Structure 1
Amino acid sequence: MQICLSHGWGGLEMYPSRIIPELKRQGWQPHGLALADSRVAASLEEAGVSPLVVSTPPRALLAVVRILAYLKTHDIRVLHCHKSGDLRLGALLAALRPGLRLFYTDHMGVTRPKKDPYHRWAYGRVTRLFSISEATRQRNLAAFPLPDARIRRLYLGIDPSPYAPELSAEAREVLRASLGIPGGAVAIGLPGRLTPGKGQAVWIEALSRLAESRPELRWHGVLIGGLTAGEGSNEAYVAALRERVAALGLESRITFAGFRRDLPRLFEALDVVCVPSRNEAFGLTVIEAMAAGKAVVGADSGAIPELIDAGTGRLAPPEAPDAWAEAMAELIVDAGLRRRLGESARRRIRRDFTLEAHVAALIEEYSVNESEFE
């Protein structure tokens, strides 16, 4: 059973519905527990699972008898939590039903120690804690009251097939025009939630400096991400970004594309993808862009340097607009370099970051005997 009691919508919340079809394909029978009327619950339905639902996280604790009965009826022996707050429920269920194996993925990258009596009790019932990068694993080792052997790095993965090019040359040009990209311009995209930690402000400053220092270069920026709180973005931040773009005279050179469900196709319209996030716990957008064969410029912080090297992209400090301008300029002027980096990036994803391999590793963990975790 995948447990995610969240009303939000981000990588953490998307994860259960992303892995469920592959779990089914590899022979497992997945179930879900979610909040009623949440996007998580809807995504589980779309993935072919009718989730057990509760109204609020506290109500889940009150519904423990009902949940235990569901686990018994469906012979569920593995629980997998995705929010730290959900471990209260997971640990309680594991305590009340000996034999349940409890797993937890730290999607966010813990920053504070969790070694007080409550956390020792809750994490003491965790069979395995998954860190989604080596950067988060090092933080996990310091923060959690678990033996090192119970904390494993398990990179996320994607199905690369949707990111293979599909558009004809004519359809690609139509899509580029709809995004405001002029003919012959190098399209530089930044996908992700519009919130301060994602680095859009630094990217805009970098484009301004690029326009000043290399006025001969033809480029167009595309910001991809929801523009409202309901779409996961910070509306005050979005307004500040718009004001800054206007103040810098870049309104004709930067498009706010809004929330899009067709990201694999949008990647086809782009030539360069930027991910200037300050402290990514993994970098799902990075591997999506790499799977699409794009040259990526990523922040040299958090987990992103684990995904990109000199043969697959470029790195720049997340708070250094001049370095970002320089990295983008290098890629703007050299189409051959963009192509070589993109091809290498695509090969790396198929080798190291597929959803099939991720779920196979997950199932291997689900399947081992408890004694083997000691």
Structure 2
Amino acid sequence: MSPSLVFAYPGDLMTKTGGYAYDRHIVSELRSAGWTVNMMPLGLGFPYPRERDLRNAESLIAALPDETVLLVDGLAYGVLHEVAERERERLRILALVHHPLALETGLDPADRVRLEVSERLALTCTRHVFVTSPATAKTLESSYGLTSSHITVVLPGTEPVQPAQRGSDVPHIVSVGSLTPRKGHDVLLRALDTVRDLPWRATIVGSEKLEPATARTLRALVKELDLEDRVVLAGEIDDVGEVFASADLFALASRYEGYGMVFAEALAHGLPVIACRAGAVPDVVPAGAGRLVPPDDPAAFGTALREVLQDNDLADQMAKAAYAAGRQLPTWAQSASVLSDRLKDFA
């Protein structure tokens, strides 16, 4: 009999974000490796579910048979501390934490404290916790009371691809990330404004559905900065690989990243990277492949852009370093193998 588990997740699994892409790939690879993975959708609104949606999710978990191996995506698990405390002995509860909920950008202080307390309680009820980066592991050890033996890092996978062609007469700057405050697109736009004297065009790919107000603010900022003829807010795109392949440079000003799968994808395409020294980004982007600046600093971000846009030799060196680093990243099958090996201890 093949080992089995229940994977519980919030929202729509087909949502085009790095976290959901991670979930989809991992589930697919686990199944390929012989696991029976039963999917349990927990409903919408997490980590701020309506009361009835929260109670429905708790009921679904409470109805699972004894000794079920239950792996819960952290976007929901962090606010499911009550059912986790009730079911911790009966079920084999495991959590998949992309990044702590309290580290999301834009939270008011009360929400931040509430999420941190809730997630800390929930994590103490797990048999084990899987995280997507060493940076997140360190955060859970230092601020959430977990020990290193209770945590396994399972890096996102990245499939090998051909390097981007680069060398455009008008350099194409690509940014990929949902239009949410944490992704720092406002910082990128203001940085682009500081290099408007140079030739470039920019495409920002990312869902506008998660934070519609932020999307509206960004569109207004593009207009305010008079960048409408140079910046395209492309929304969701089915094949982001085509956009990466057309790029000369990748730039994303995230204020925090639990890992940052798009940075790994940029490396795989051999793209120089301009980013912020935030969360796990320094773990993903090696020094030779990118320029990392402090978060929330459009001037510093613009200076880094200018440096790479004006120096073709430097850009070529960074591109080679990026592609070499990308070739060292694990595939999805390798990442799922790490997860599978640890899961077997609970199955």
Pairing partner for 1:184 from 163, 166, 169: 169
Is 1:128–1:150's contact at 8 Å kept on the other side of the alignment?
yes
Instruction: Provide the residue aligned with 2:33 in structure 1.
Output: 26
| CA distance in 2 between partners of 1:133 and 1:67 (Å) | 30
| CA distance in 1 between partners of 2:86 and 2:204 (Å) | 43
Instruction: Provide the residue aligned with 1:105 in structure 2.
Output: 96
Is 2:101–2:119's contact at 8 Å kept on the other side of the alignment?
no
Instruction: Provide the residue aligned with 1:180 in structure 2.
Output: none
Please give the per-residue CA displacement for 1:283-329, whole angstroms capped at 9, x wherever unaligned: 11111111122111111121101111222211112222222112112
| CA distance in 1 between partners of 2:120 and 2:314 (Å) | 49
Which stretch of structure 1 is more off in the superposition, 357-366 or 346-355?
346-355
Matched, 1:251 2:228: yes
Instruction: Provide the residue aligned with 1:176 in structure 2.
Output: none
Name the structure, 1 or 2, with higher relative contact order (CA <8 Å, separation 6+).
2
Instruction: Provide the residue aligned with 2:240 in structure 1.
Output: 263
Superposition TM-score, scaled by structure 2 size: 0.80
* 2:79 counterpart SS class: helix
Pairing partner for 2:202 from 221, 225, 228: 221
Which stretch of structure 1 is more off in the superposition, 314-323 or 265-274?
314-323
Which stretch of structure 1 is more off in the superposition, 191-200 or 345-354?
345-354
Which stretch of structure 1 is more off in the superposition, 200-209 or 6-15?
6-15
Is 1:114–1:144's contact at 8 Å kept on the other side of the alignment?
no
| CA distance in 1 between partners of 2:22 and 2:45 (Å) | 12
* 1:30 counterpart SS class: strand
Note the 1:170-181 alignment, pairs <5 A. none
| CA distance in 2 between partners of 1:330 and 1:117 (Å) | 44
Call closer, same or farther: CA 1:322–1:145 in 2, change over 3 Å: closer
Please give the per-residue CA displacement for 1:194-230, whole angstroms capped at 9, x wherever unaligned: 122211111111111112xxx2x31111111123x2x
Note the 1:1-374 alignment, pairs <5 A. 1-6=6-11, 9=15, 10-35=17-42, 56-64=53-61, 66-68=63-65, 77-83=68-74, 84-86=78-80, 88-89=82-83, 92-97=86-91, 100=92, 102-111=93-102, 120=121, 122-152=122-152, 154-161=153-160, 163-164=161-162, 184-211=169-196, 215=197, 217-227=198-208, 229=209, 232=210, 234-368=211-345
* 1:250 counterpart SS class: coil
Give the Å deviation of 1:140.
Answer: 1.0
* 1:256 counterpart SS class: strand
* 1:289 counterpart SS class: helix
What are the ranges of 5 or more consecutive residues in structure 1 without an aligned counterpart? 41-54, 174-182
Superposition TM-score, scaled by structure 1 size: 0.75
Please give the per-residue CA displacement for 1:304-363, whole angstroms capped at 9, x wherever unaligned: 011112222111122222221121122223334333323332332332343222211111
Instruction: Provide the residue aligned with 1:48 in structure 2.
Output: none
Is 1:5–1:86's contact at 8 Å kept on the other side of the alignment?
no
Identity of counterpart residues, as a percentage? 24
Give the Å deviation of 1:274.
Answer: 0.7
Which stretch of structure 1 is more off in the superposition, 218-227 or 348-357?
348-357
Is 1:81–1:90's contact at 8 Å kept on the other side of the alignment?
no
Q: Which amino acid aligns with 2:64?
A: I
What are the ranges of 5 or more consecutive residues in structure 2 without an aligned counterpart? 1-5, 47-51, 103-112
